[in-house]
């Protein structure tokens, strides 16, 4: 069978030629036809036969894509060099029959993107257009779901909503979760843009923090059963979807006192905040902590955890609403980081001793000021940064201060278990109570990605709702 997604290469050239290669590796044939016609003067290639010219205006008709060799396949269609391909295509079944043994499923051609120029068979310049193929489930009882798919790295517009994605099947030590809500994290936007150090293979579904109900379990799963309420700190298939597969060790029981939106707000925010405070900063009761950017998901989590562990908690926020939420969630004092003199107000509040720990959400803006706010032996824990900053290293020397970066997924399985045990205790006692901010339906995910980076004044955790 064909892989779930693969790319075909359509040569955009001035005259037809016999074949070309693609990234397809299937050893089967793929029946399909284009429902949305390509531009005029298209030609079509049947296996190893010669190209067949199509009448004007009819576009590409039915046929098969026959692999020429391992790692390569014959051409699906040929388009004149000056023709403009539409942005989206759709492939449908050629006939009403189901595919026979060894055949691939019908497919949909979902996106097109330009690739580097090359030369056609006559030496004339041409351009490849890489088209992503996604199988369409046939009438075999396979369940379909709505999900977000990313076929290329880029801006929010690359987030594609699809309503016919196959529901994943859990394997050994995996569970299938019917997703009620999924958290949106800034790191999701960095990965989507291609700017993050860890890039998933394309295409992929974003999202790690989901909350919902166990739909099915794979082999060797004993901790969960169908119907259990759970949340996750990671998914295998992606969380921006109606169903998601996750490894059982990344899934935890969601107490009845928290709803699914709150469950979706636990994963990255609370586990990151806990790692930053207890693992990286090694905070002690009685120390002071400044949460720089405290009204967002990680910030509020840090305030709640720090207060529960006996620290003096200071926070900053950019709006009056944000400041109020920070005070309601563990902070002793809050400052408006949009005021010109807010650093002076913090210094006046903490006195000459300074601040023991700063949890920093935007290091590219605040790190230089943070170093001047620290106490002797103080630590800046960098949770987020969106670019470079120039600092004076001497600012770390006199007080022997430290700048420490945090990456949640550097945690070991054992560390995750430790974090989870402490946080689940917080749920039971009551100090862990996620604050939900903006909520978006799955179809509005592009707007969510735009807002989480560019909106002014975060207030709570942003979530996607799948129903």
Q: What is the pLDDT of residue 343?
A: 94
pTM for this entry: 0.71
Least confident piece of the model among 74-78, 314-318, 459-463: 74-78
Q: What is the pLDDT of residue 453?
A: 87
Q: What is the pLDDT of residue 386?
A: 85
> Which three-class secondary structure string do you get for the chain?
CCCCCEEEEEEECCCCCCCCCCCCCCCCCEEEEECCCCCCCCEEECCCCCEEECCCCCCCCCEEECCCECCECCCCEEECCCCCCCCCCCEECCCCCCCCCCCCCCEEEEEEEEEEEEECCCCCEEEEEEEEEEECCCCCCCCEEEEEEECCCCCHHHEEEEEEEECCCCCCCEEEEEEEEEECCHHHHHHHHCCCCCCCCCCECCCCCEEEEEEEECCCCCCCCCCCEEEECCCCCCCCECEEEEEHHHEEECCCCCCHHHHHCCHHHHHHHHHHHHHHCCCCCCCEEEEECCCCHHHHHHHHHHHHCCCEEEEEECCHHHHHHHHHCCCCEEEECCCCCHHHHHHHHHCCCCEEEEEECCHHHHHHHHHHHEEEEEEEEECCCCCCCCCCCHHHHCCCCEEEECCHHHCCHHHHHHHHHHHHHHHHHCCCCCCEEEEEEHHHHHHHHHHHHHCCCCCCEEEEECC
Once rounded to an integer, what is the mean pLDDT over residues 276-305?
96
Please write the tens of the pLDDT for every residue from 136-150.
344 446 799 999 999
pLDDT band at 457 (very low <50, low <70, confident <90, very high): low
Q: What is the pLDDT of residue 162?
A: 95
pLDDT band at 385 (very low <50, low <70, confident <90, very high): confident
Domains, the chain, ordered by start: 144-265+436-465 (3.90.180.10), 269-413 (3.40.50.720)
Q: What is the pLDDT of residue 14?
A: 36
Res 213 pLDDT > 90: yes
Res 130 pLDDT > 90: no
Percent of the chain with pLDDT over 70: 69
């Amino acid at each position: 069978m064909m892989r779930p997604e693969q790319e075909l290469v359509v040569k955009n050239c001035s005259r037809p030629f016999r074949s070309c290669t693609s990234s397809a590796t299937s050893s089967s044939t793929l029946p399909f036809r284009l429902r949305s016609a390509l531009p005029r003067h298209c030609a079509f290639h049947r296996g190893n036969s010669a190209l067949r010219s199509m009448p004007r205006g009819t576009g590409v008709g039915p046929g098969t894509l026959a692999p020429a060799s391992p790692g390569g396949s014959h051409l699906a269609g040929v388009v004149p060099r000056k023709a403009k391909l539409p942005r989206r295509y759709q492939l449908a079944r050629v006939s009403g029959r189901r595919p026979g043994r060894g055949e691939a499923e019908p497919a949909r051609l979902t996106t097109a993107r330009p690739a580097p120029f090359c030369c056609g068979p006559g030496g004339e310049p041409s351009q490849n257009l890489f088209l992503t193929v996604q199988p369409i489930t046939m009438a075999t009882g396979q369940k379909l779901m709505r999900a977000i798919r990313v076929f290329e790295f880029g801006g929010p517009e690359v987030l594609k909503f699809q309503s016919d994605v196959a529901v994943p099947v859990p394997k050994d030590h995996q569970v299938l979760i019917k997703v009620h809500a999924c958290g949106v994290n800034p790191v999701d936007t960095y990965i989507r843009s291609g700017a993050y150090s860890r890039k998933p293979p394309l295409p992929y579904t974003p999202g790690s923090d989901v909350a919902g109900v166990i739909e099915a379990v794979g082999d060797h799963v004993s901790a969960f059963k169908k119907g259990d309420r759970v949340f996750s700190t990671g998914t295998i298939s992606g969380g921006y979807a109606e169903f998601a597969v996750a490894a059982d060790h990344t899934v935890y029981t969601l107490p009845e006192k928290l709803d699914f939106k709150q469950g979706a707000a636990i994963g990255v925010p609370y586990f990151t905040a806990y790692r930053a405070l207890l693992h990286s900063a090694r905070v002690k009761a009685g120390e002071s902590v400044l949460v720089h950017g405290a009204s967002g998901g990680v910030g509020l989590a840090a305030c709640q955890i720090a207060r529960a562990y006996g620290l003096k908690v200071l926070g900053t926020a950019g709006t009056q609403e944000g400041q109020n939420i920070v005070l309601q969630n563990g902070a002793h004092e809050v400052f408006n980081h949009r005021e010109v003199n807010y650093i002076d107000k913090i210094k006046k509040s903490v006195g000459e001793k300074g601040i023991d720990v700063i949890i920093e959400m935007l290091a590219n803006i605040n790190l230089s000021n943070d170093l001047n706010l620290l106490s002797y032996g103080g630590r800046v824990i960098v949770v987020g940064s969106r670019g470079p900053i120039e600092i004076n290293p001497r600012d770390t020397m006199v007080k022997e201060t430290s700048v420490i970066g945090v990456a949640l997924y550097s945690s070991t399985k054992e560390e995750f278990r430790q974090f989870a045990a402490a946080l689940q205790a917080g749920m039971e006692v009551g100090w862990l109570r996620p604050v939900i901010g903006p909520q978006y339906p799955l179809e509005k995910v592009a707007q969510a990605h735009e807002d989480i980076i560019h909106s002014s004044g975060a207030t709570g955790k942003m979530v996607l709702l799948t129903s």
